[in-house]
Structure 1
Amino acid sequence: MFGQDGLTRMADASHRLLRFWKKQNKFVMGVFIRNTVAYVVRLENRDGQWELYENVMVPIPAVDTGEDFPPAELAVEKIVTMMQVMGWPAAPIAMCLAEDEVFTDTLHIPVMPDSEMCEAVHWELDGQRDFDDPEFLSVFRSSSGDEGQWAAAVPKTLVDIWRKAWKENGMELESLTVMPAFVKTSCALENEGLRVGDVCFPFAHEPYDVFYDDGGWEALHAAKTLCYPEASYMNFLTAGKPISSAWNWKSLSLTVTAVISIGLFGCFFADYGQLSGEQEALAAQKSQLAFLSHAQKEKSLLENAEAQIRKKNQQLVRLSEESYPWRSILIHLGTMTVDGVWLSEITVPKPNELEIHGKAIQYEALAEFLQKFEGDREFFPSTPILKSSQVEAGEANSPTIAFQLTLKLDTRDDVYGTPG
């Protein structure tokens, strides 16, 4: 739970919270330029899922600059022109630099928290780099196995050139990264999309020809640093810090937080006695409320029972007003009930017809009750009709079967006795 793994999990959780709190971009563009071709991918955020929407290769005219890559202004101008032709809206830009544009090395330094690792990487690279510009930005990542920390550095002047080129065309460069070789080996084409490391970008449309091996992986890797903040450690613009940055704001924040926490704990222990008394009083009130609640529940049950008795008495009065000798019918019905079946209501919806409501524990008991009528045709010549039956939740989660029967009565006087 603790240690480096714990800190990593806490960092991942904080990144997810930031992604939840911050407004998500609708589109993100990843760009990678190699020789005279710009590889551009456009990703769309659909309900929190980033999908590969489209990819384009933009040719850039060759210009003799003495470098293997075209001028930033020309490359950005061609990409923006392509966006206008295809109707793409402006979107945050994430660029992946070619390996020959950055300085990379493997540093054998111990594992430490990210803020300290960032400072250590800067000091190590400061003695090994070959930059004309004294200021540079860096990123780092743990290599596979025990090979140490892979680190990359880029002159700040190059970062400013690309930022200016995009800004002059009305767009913002929000991520600048580089793709290590060991990360590229983890990229793969899957049925549902393209996987870059631990993230899979599904296709927004039907799978189509994408330029994975030429430069598409680098463009997707760049877009990933904007789509998923937990991958922003590979972004020169956010992960790298200037070597002149002496203040460790994270440590200062932790120190201030510790001082405030000590003060709060002091206040807490000072009022602990009063808090204990309040808790005891609250417990006593809860006990009294529980007793009153139990009494109220018993009163409610008693009122319900009285209401049911009044209802049954009214039913008996109504039955006694009919012309049939209901007493003999009710007594006979009582002798026909079986174990697991009880009657709750008897009504006379029509002349010479009974409607019986009741409940049964099982369908077998209900079937046995119906068979009783089959064997007593002298008293009840017609077979009862089962109008409805349904399972209801009973007490203590014991289900019961509520049923409704319709029973035709014999109109002959000699069956039930003399009416009156």
Structure 2
Amino acid sequence: NGLTKDRFVQACMRMTKLGKYHWLTFWSSHEVDQQIRTLKHVTSNKSQDETIHLIDIIRWVYENTQQATWDGLHHWSTQSLSYQQKVNAFQHVQWANSEQQFTFNLLQELATHCLEPEWIKKILASSSDEEQQRELQREVEQQVEEERQHQRPIPVSPQKPKLHDAVKQLCSVDSSMLDLESLTEVFRRIPFAFNGSTFSQDCQPSSWQKNIWISTEFQKVIKTLGESLDPFLRPPRWIVVYRNQHVIFVSAYEANWLINQLKTEFSMKKTDQSFTTTLRLLLPRIKHDQSILVNTPTLTIPPSIVSHGISPFIIPNEWLVKLLIFNGTLYFETVDEQEAYCQCLGVCPKPRTKIENDAFESGWILVDGFIPQEEHRLLLQKHGCRFTANPLRFIQKLIENRNASHAPRTSHVGSIIFDTTKILP
């Protein structure tokens, strides 16, 4: 829209390899097409057809060239005047005289003759405004920095911790196994941890494993008055593996009591007894090759030391990935962990097999890697998915909440969420 003769010629000169039986076609926007047709009707006295010919395009190009010449005339004349002023200023310099000295007065005179009066005024004005400009820049940078800072949560009162008798009974070796589902005042399934937060619906409460629990004290952090609990979600750090069948997240207050009690029970137990209830520390893996401690036998309470041929209980990957999702882990230790994680979320990231690529082309696999239909998951052997709806947005928000930062694209989980790609081979 405004193509001049010079640019038009340059474009045509690029077509030097056009030969016999080659055609050159001109394409334009609707606006340019209307300009060419209008100019054709204005300049032609005879009635002609509506077809645009080469002469019409050239006429439009020359019309633009003429307009561009008039538009640039003032600029060119100003440049010419400036050039003549510089030539006249340097005529006072005796170039042939080898003894010519460029004194301060001479250089100042040259500068005075070369600068236009309006530019002298602008330079003087800009020097006085320079400090104001710097001050304004500092204020803008300060405002941007303030916007980047997270808004601090409103003042709240902490919830007074409480130790329930049912939590104490977890340590008992000789008593019968507790029915956790009936003790709703003390134990709830893991989605209850999100009550009062924006995650309560996004977490798809019915999709979590039935043997992963929290204590109600784990969920109670502050005395709530109806405000969102997003900033007050308790970091999941302590778990109780109860009789090697259930995993229960507990608060630090409860864990502190359980440490002493489990140590006491362990010291009093018989040597031929196997201790199936342990307290373990669970860390999010936010760095490469970081230990999350949960399956380190010597660090469980009591220690899961091999004795009498009894191997320590290792939390299986099928359970472990739920814990990793819950605590905002970013990296995997093994390929099996990565595969179990993808199975749990119901995603099929790249690299894919030929069958998986065909499924993607058929629309079974979405762009973000999620497989929405259960029958398609079964055919693709993604049997471990527990989520009925796409959970990736929820996982992304949960990681941001747990780690106070976005998941890096270079991390194992970040690559799956954002780039639909598995990093571990």
TM-score, normalising length: structure 2: 0.26
Question: Which one scores higher on RCO, CA 8 angstroms, separation ≥ 6?
Answer: 1
TM-score, normalising length: structure 1: 0.26
Structure number with greater Rg is 1
